[in-house]
Structure 1
């Protein structure tokens, strides 16, 4: 500061003239590539360390660098402190040596022979254990602070900067800082370049400009919206100096079916919080590397280091079920164990140390596949489920995607038609509606949107009637067993492989009774029963993949006997993930589940026969309208009851 005292009364023009003169004199100026690493090491060295280095020729020293970029520069600076028998700088995980003397062997030999050794790394696990365990001097070097930068600018330009923003190098690494501080430049210009570089590094990721703030999103549910609101509020409080960052609940996993906007929500959250966004995934680790164990670990390190450098920042771990659970061991698990362990350490560091200002958000379509250690408290401790949006939320999502199009349109009807769809479906609807309008050289209309949500049905009439009966039976049996559960019934196909769908709201309870499970299984079996009763034949519509009616009912009932303790035995035999395999391997279990399915199917048939008239009426309404809201469906049921043609009660259903 003293160097500036003589210039307090000098005008800006005069100071610029002095700076210009400084620019013409380069001979005594030193670049930051030399001065910064030296200054950082000398600041970290205690007087006792210097004395020991002068008198003791057998001293061993290790330096922990602030990032990988600083490893080699710090090693070059450390070598100028004296002569070293053995020096090792490493910035990535070491590979196993198949032959010859290893680095560890060389270090041990040098120490045993009384030599002086030094190791530099950003991760102490990369150094041989022999070096870290017996080091006489340990230095942990932090990123250069403002005073060190002032000194480096002075040594490069001949002048201290007149003023400098606090934390000017936030988010900058070695190359960024050294590129900004230049010999032959002025102190003012160096500061301006540092400010510009820090601003560029701290800006949100490209593409977030078009993402709406989280406050304008729809259909994510109270739990997720509440968590996001609290996170944003806490970050604001931290910035204002009112809250310690360690008090912020800042890790979670977003779980849902595909297409429900997990990535969009995470991006919007980063935008609203005003923090950089770092997306990553297991597939990205493999695509960006050779796929070897050390390169995968390096990918993990790089994303955490990059985010930590500009923290607070968000790491978005997409498809986190790609990190396999160690509980489901197979022949590949031994390869993954080090990766899982390393990720767990990184998540631990996200709440302390250099990475203490990271927000880590995971996303998965299969929360049941996550390693238990990954989602324990202190790591990705909160799993938040995202459900499909209801009609109100869907209207908001449609409005969001429409933007300036159809500003005065009432979207309620089209939203009700679309219940059961996802945000990704809405995106496709709007995109296709705009395409149809462009092809006819006109503005988009509400009819264009209707045509996407409910495209013309070109399926054979017999197939459409079967689908209507199938869905009507689902809805009626659900209404009998769980009154008020039906949200909508539709024969509108979202995908070519789909028939129709019945959407229900089921009360989620922490503890569920066997009767509840059996009722849900009966609702799943009802579509097939409807076909048998009203059409005198059944189709393959209830079967198919893992999400089919029969598959869901089968796995649900298998859990009763294997893991929920609701069958004839208390023995816990498998996790939910393993039950499918157990059904294949255990014929006794398969026979028990088949007997349950047959019993519940017979009970469901009785309900459908008792209520065949109302099933027929719902099916007829679907053939005319293609879509029924929950209120419309209930109205049909009530009219049937008032006319006395049906009594909405099942037979022996439990």
Structure 2
């Protein structure tokens, strides 16, 4: 590799001697004297880069470069893939006499040495050319600060790419090339469309369109629904529709790129977070780039520098293709610094910091990048990553309700079961995610194929609610238990969503309450405890006595009472001793607190027994409905409760106060 001194003796290009700097010249020193600065490019990448650079420089910029001398030129290129080609094009304009710095990664650790080398070159009237996809991040300040000219080289427009095609095919400039034909394409994609033997511009344009279709969800051969066809996403869908409207306004020039918001989606697996991201890109007709922490590892050898390089390449693509959508899945795989061990911090902190800086850069460039991220565990995501300015909005994606589940089934069924009433399927499948519902359809179609017939509603019902293998006696025991939960919760004014005797992996049945929005006082917390104990009480009063099936109910009741004392300050003491999710652990270490919790549980159990005994008629009526339908809705529970009033005249509120 040449040194600065050797460079000054000849008109050849120099490469600064740093092992991590990518400084190799496009033109070896031995060829410099034979290569004319006006020689036309011979490769597609050279042709495109030459046209892009000349357009970005303008006439005055080209004159400045051709003049040469002690000049520091910084070129900001779209992505790392452009660095070498633009370096070569600029160096041709400089007569192959420049010291070339190609910075695809952070080179600031070389600032002191570079200062000496750059100064040495300028003192001897040698131009310095620095090329990077992120000059402010990767170039040392000695270079950016000394720059005589900073030129931003944007991705090729349809007009410029048309000129490249015309020059390559030696034809007139083609018509009909649109921005969407270049959406998401990097220099290698553009270069691949211009090949030896490409005789007509139409062939090149078709190659570009095929490449763009592979990047853009709107043109992909997949079944991603448009936003208007999505169901069950609540406020997240409303935000997404408003975002698509903003993208349209951006294209009309009514708003700036900085008006586009970013968002973090969270929820249990299978709720459709990835589908929403793809739907946003499709509806807005924007290129979509998807990645994850795992992909940053998988696309390289997994060393620290390679992970950061893959991350940087992802963000560089987003900026180069803007307006665009970037989707980071499973973002909780990036550790939370608040819980990161000292051993892991040495490795992970540079990765976390780089992620935060690159998100800041994407938002600061105001290029029109929509950043989306998804996680199943929002509590594990670093607070700095979640803050507004990085991700402006955070939405929980819940499993669809009955109406939304019917719409999801209808969408994915297509022409199948066109006139069928899907309400029984949605009701029996309550609590299922959209991914599970799509799985029912796939399995139902397979069932029909194996039977060599058309799919029927029974096939779908069989997948959503398989035949229960339990005996009639076992089902009645479960129905009594769940009816006790539902009726007592309703009497205590807790919002009941549904009850079912359909078994899951963890329970023989379930009653769903909606208590996430409550800020409870002691009376409300004790009402929740009584609702949890009501199934056991119903077993005792109407079933075959207490059984082991109420273990999870007892755990939740115990946790709530313990949290009342050690987390919420609603007991006899104000001291905070543990977060509510860890309240149970305090009982093992504090016998006195365990005795206090046990006394409260016994008192609330007695009150719940009174409620169950006064609502026997309602519980038995709901039991019969559960046995007949397997699932009952909130409206049906309320109807049964209204038709069978409690035998006790004491108000529920008064009974809670007295207990």
- Give how far 1:48 is off: 11
In the TM superposition, residue 271 of structure 1 has moved relative to its aligned partner by 1.7
Aligned residues of 2:80 and 2:132 also touching (Cα < 8 A): yes
Question: Offset at 1:492?
Answer: 0.9
Give the unaligned 5+ runs of structure 2: 1-37
Aligned residues: 606
Match of 2:637 among 622, 633, 638: 633
Task: Mark the CA change 1:38 to 1:561 in structure 2 (over 3 Å): closer, same or farther.
Answer: farther
Q: Gaps (5+ residues) in structure 1?
A: 1-26, 96-101
Deviation larger for 557-566 or 447-456: 557-566
Question: SS of 1:611's equivalent?
Answer: helix
Alpha carbons 1:525, 1:601 under 8 Å: kept: no
Counterpart pick for 1:380 among 391, 397, 415: 391
The 1:475–1:65 alpha-carbon spacing in structure 2 relative to 1, beyond 3 Å, is same
TM-score (norm 1): 0.79
Deviation at 1:159, TM superposition (A): 6.9
Q: Contact 1:542/1:550 (CA < 8 Å) preserved in 2?
A: yes
Counterpart for residue 253 of structure 2: 241
Q: Is 1:504 matched up with 2:513?
A: yes
Q: Who is 1:123 aligned against?
A: 134
Residue 603 of structure 1: CA displacement?
A: 0.8
Residue aligning to 1:607: 608
Aligned to 1:3: none
Residue in 1 aligned with 2:222?
209
Query: Does residue 1:453 correspond to 2:464, yes or no?
Result: yes
The alpha-carbon deviation at position 54 of structure 1 amounts to 4.2
The 1-side partners of 2:331 and 2:570 are apart by: 32
Closer, same or farther: CA 399–148 of 1 in aligned 2, 3 Å: closer
Q: Residue in 1 aligned with 2:286? A: 275
Partners of 2:305 and 2:143 lie apart in 1 by: 20
Pick aligned residue for 2:502 from 492, 496, 513: 492
Which residue number in structure 2 is paired with residue 424 of structure 1?
435
Q: Indicate if the aligned counterparts of 1:275 and 1:313 stay in contact, CA closer than 8 A.
A: yes
Kindly indicate whether the alpha-carbon contact (under 8 Å) linking 2:587 and 2:593 is maintained by their aligned counterparts in 1: no
Q: Is the 8 A contact 1:40 1:141 kept in 2?
A: no
CA drift of 1:215 comes to 0.9
SS at match of 1:406: coil
User: Does the CA-based 8 Å contact 1:472-1:527 persist in structure 2?
Assistant: yes
Deviations 1:230-281 (A, max 9, x none): 1122222222333333223x31122222222222222222222222222222
> C-alpha distance in 1, partners of 2:176/2:437?
49
Q: TM-score, normalised by structure 2?
A: 0.78
426 and 566 in structure 1: CA distance in 2 versus 1, 3 angstrom threshold? same
- The whole-number CA distance in structure 1 between the counterparts of 2:196 and 2:472 is 81
2:329 matches 1:318: yes
Taking structure 1 as reference, are residues 291 and 552 closer, same or farther at Cα in structure 2, changes over 3 Å only? Answer: farther
Instruction: Map 1:455-470 to 2 at 5 A.
Output: 455-460=466-471, 463-470=474-481
Q: Indicate the larger mover: 127-136 or 309-318.
A: 127-136
> Which residue among 382, 405, 410 is the counterpart of 2:421?
410
Per-residue CA distance 1:453-488 (angstroms, 9 max, x = gap):
3222113556434433332232123112225x2222
Distance in 2, matches of 1:539 and 1:105, equals: 76
Cα 1:519–1:323 shift into 2, 3 Å: farther
The 2-side partners of 1:121 and 1:36 are apart by: 17
Indicate whether 1:107 and 2:114 are aligned.
Answer: yes
Deviation at 1:227, TM superposition (A): 0.9
Once superposed, what is the RMSD of the aligned Cα atoms?
Answer: 4.0
1:166 and 1:285, CA in 2 relative to 1: closer, same or farther beyond 3 A?
Answer: closer
The separation in 1 between residues aligned to 2:591 and 2:376, in whole angstroms, is 28
- Cα contact 2:534–2:612 (8 A) shared by 1: no
